Amino acid sequence: MDAEATTTTSEAWADVTPEAARRLVVAAVEAFAERGYHATTTRDIAGRAGMSPAALYIHYKTKEELLYQISRVGHLRSLALLEAARDAGGTPAERLAAAVRSFVRWHAEHHTTGRVVQYELGALAADHYTEIVALRRRSEAVIREVISAGVDSGDFDVPDVSGTTLAVLSLCIDVARWFNPGGRRTPDEIGGLYADLVLRMVGQEGRRDR
């Protein structure tokens, strides 16, 4: 795990207290992203956090509980960004572009957390899985609502709103899988690029709010 990614991950979880619990969350995010949930042991997580395996259980009962907390917080934070863009006002194109920019930027800036949040969903216990899927559906509903508003106003040309919504979300989420902090594009630049791509998808080529 590179130093820049580690710093970003630590900053992303700065509000988790006490410090020991925060260290465990950061260690779990890094381990899950690097090795996958199933290949990661509680000993791996505790070791990365500089703690004993026994100390982990003081804060989290199971490895799955750690994954659940990471998934829940990550989904809530990204959902809040989408809702803020939807509620900010402006034309449907402006709101859709703002939603895509912020969603993509989050998945780039927090790509380590994003990989865990988006791609380890199947490892959650049944009740936790149900809760996280409900959060994902809320994110889907925000994008669908903005696209539908554009269709209703005549601004967007989208024959299949549901299919386009899923395509937009998939495009944005996948940034967490490939983003490289040392690459030539910044999270802001990728957000702008993807906003342009999405507006083209809905028939708004070259009309992104800058």
In the DSSP assignment, the letter for residue 203 is T
For the domain made up of 64-201, the CATH class stated in words is mainly alpha
Residue 209 sits at φ, ψ, to 5 deg, of -65, 125
Structure tokens at 94: 């402006």
Q: Can you name the CATH fold of 3-63?
A: Arc Repressor Mutant, subunit A (1.10.10)
Output the pLDDT for position 17: 76
Output the pLDDT for position 9: 63
**Nearest partner of 49 among 9, 4, 89, judged by Cα:** 9
Output the pLDDT for position 205: 61
> 190-208 burial, b if ≥16 CB within 10 A, otherwise e?
bbbebbbbbbebbebeeeb
Distance CA 84, CA 44 (A): 37
pLDDT tens digits, 81-123: 999 999 998 999 999 999 999 999 999 999 999 999 989 999 9
Output the pLDDT for position 7: 46
Other CB atoms within a 10 A radius of the CB of residue 137 amount to 11
Q: What is the pLDDT along the chain (210 residues), one digit of tens a residue?
A: 443 444 456 666 777 778 888 899 999 999 999 999 999 999 999 999 999 988 899 999 999 999 999 999 999 999 999 999 999 989 999 999 999 999 999 999 999 999 999 899 999 999 999 999 999 999 999 999 999 999 999 999 999 999 999 999 999 999 999 999 888 999 999 999 999 999 999 998 644 444
Amino acid (1-letter code) at residue 118: Q
Output the pLDDT for position 1: 44
Output the pLDDT for position 5: 47
Outline which parts of the chain fall under CATH 1.10.10.60.
3-63
Outline which parts of the chain fall under CATH 1.10.357.10.
64-201
Distance CA 61, CA 126 (A): 16
Output the pLDDT for position 4: 40
Output the pLDDT for position 121: 92
Radius of gyration of the chain from Cα atoms?
18
Instruction: Give the pTM.
Output: 0.86
